[in-house]
Chains A and B, each alone.
Chain A
Amino acid sequence: MEDRPPTDAALAERARQGDERAFEELVRMHSGIAFRTAYLLTGSAADAEDAAQAGFVKAWGALGRFRKGAEFRPWLLRIVANEAHNRRRSAQRRDSLALRAAVADVSGDAVPSPEAAALDQDSRRMLLGAVNRLDERDRDVLACRYFLDLSERETAEVLGVRHGTVKSRTARALERLRAEVEE
């Protein structure tokens, strides 16, 4: 019978019992999404690395309060998002945060991904500008939903808001974007 890799739940439970190797595996499995989440919330690679790292450290310390059977990823990302928000506020970058889009993937010889091909550079620039002008809370919700591909429920948990708040903020943000880019 083929050995399956341990699940998040199994690793989290082992880590909860003090198994550092299990936690190390969780760190390796979730470093990418943790760093990306922190980067999208801070706009700074240095802050994102710091926030993701601190998030993992705090998650280790909080494992005793992690509910058995709960999902590890949104729980972790919630901690990371808190750390990222702290750094964003500390740096007073709240209003100057600006995400940037890569420019190389649609102009070179490489075949762009179907998703990237769906946007030409001008419309991408326009959409990105509109996203960057959103209120930070609306921008955070959109980042979780569409840039991190989190569900509404996960987004609510990560941002520490109610499910209904995610729905309403998403709708409001989309409406604002639509007014800017589709008029």
Chain B
Amino acid sequence: MTGLEQRLVALGSALDVPETPNLAPAVLARIGARPARRTRGVVLAFAVVVVASLLAALAIPDARSALARFLHIGGARIELVDRLPAVPTTPPELELTLGQRVTLDEARAQSSFPLLELDERPDAVYVGERGTIWFLYGTRDAVRLLVAQTPRVAIDEPFVLKKLVQAGTTVEPATVRGKPAYFLIGEPHVVLLLDENGLTYEESARLAQDVLVWEEDGRTVRLEGDLTRAEALDIARSLR
């Protein structure tokens, strides 16, 4: 351990952390039910849920300029109109939440799976948490489309539907290349993922727009943009 690391350990011991409250009574009072049981063993699961409180910090500000933009992807002409709410955030926020900027070739090389790509090259590519590859179309300040591909997670349909119904989101089932897909309508969005241990962790729906998600060949794919269901499906089916 270096001197600096030793100083950090010493600093940790001197931090002003309040005394731990007695958590047990409140916890026990709240766990009225028995724990859920599953018999499927290790479950790789993916879920999406809407939570109203999170989005302000995660939307994109400059895209508020209400201009129609046009994107031609896979033969589909997609009109994207920004209707993002006025939220206090800064443009670099998006990049921080996407990950490390890389080239498309670097993403292809780093990815543990063959990337699904559109004919049109993305304007920016990022490698984020859990090996998620992000394709950004447009600019950081005016995003038209985000495509996220995350390996080693799968859609757990009962979980998705239960959570989304609880949250009041509309879920429209669809298919992409024969795979079950879900078009999630309602904003703001937050994505909850379940890892191999069955633990949830949060991911924001970066654009606070409707989301199309599906599972394909060992990854989940997520499309975000100001897209109708038909537009999102057109783009999804153009990925290859």
- A residues with a Cβ closer than 8 A to B are 15-16, 18, 20, 23-24, 27-28, 31-32, 34-36, 39-40, 45, 48-49, 52-53, 56-58, 60-67, 70, 75, 78-79, 82, 85-86, 89-90, 92, 94, 99-102, 105-106, 113, 115-119, 123-124, 127-128, 131, 135, 142-143, 145-149, 160-162, 165, 174, 177-178, 181-182
Contact = CB atoms under 8 A, between A and B. Distances in A.
9 contacts: A35-B20, A49-B21, A60-B27, A60-B35, A100-B15, A102-B15, A143-B12, A147-B15, A181-B4
Contacts of B10: 115-119, 124
A154 to B, nearest CB: 13
A28 B24 contact: yes
B150 to A, nearest CB: 12
B16 A65 contact: no
Interface in B5-34: 5-18, 20-24, 26-28, 30-31, 33-34
Given A60-B35, A75-B197, A90 B53 contact: yes
Main secondary structure of the interface of A (DSSP, over half): helix
Nearest to A135: B96
A113 B10 CA distance: 9
A110 B4 CA distance: 25
Given A27-B23, A62-B35, A102-B14, A85 B43 contact: no
B190 to A, nearest CB: 9
B240 interface: no
Interface stretch (B136-144, B172-180, B198-206, B222-230): B198-206
A48 B31 CA distance: 19
Contacts of A65: 36, 38, 43, 194, 197-199
B88 interface: yes
B74 interface: no
A106 to B, nearest CB: 8
B18 A118 contact: no
Contacts of A78: 197, 199, 201
Given A61-B33, A66-B198, A127-B11, 5 more contacts: A20-B31, A27-B23, A27-B28, A57-B30, A89-B54
B195 A160 contact: yes
Contact of A66 (B24, B30, B53, B197): B197
B181 to A, nearest CB: 24
Contacts of A124: 10-11, 14
A131 B28 CA distance: 36
Contact of A160 (B22, B96, B130): B130
Contacts, number: 177
B131 interface: yes
Contacts of A39: 17-18
Contact of B38 (A64, A100, A165): A64
Contacts of A67: 42, 197-198
B57 interface: yes
Contacts of B51: 86
A23 B14 CA distance: 31
B73 interface: no
A69 to B, nearest CB: 11
B13 A40 contact: no
B128 to A, nearest CB: 10
Nearest to A116: B14
A149 B88 CA distance: 35
B164 interface: no
B94 interface: no
Contacts of A58: 200
B8 A147 contact: yes
Given A35-B23, A57-B30, A160-B129, A146 B9 contact: yes
Contacts of A18: 34-35
Nearest to A117: B10
B94 to A, nearest CB: 14
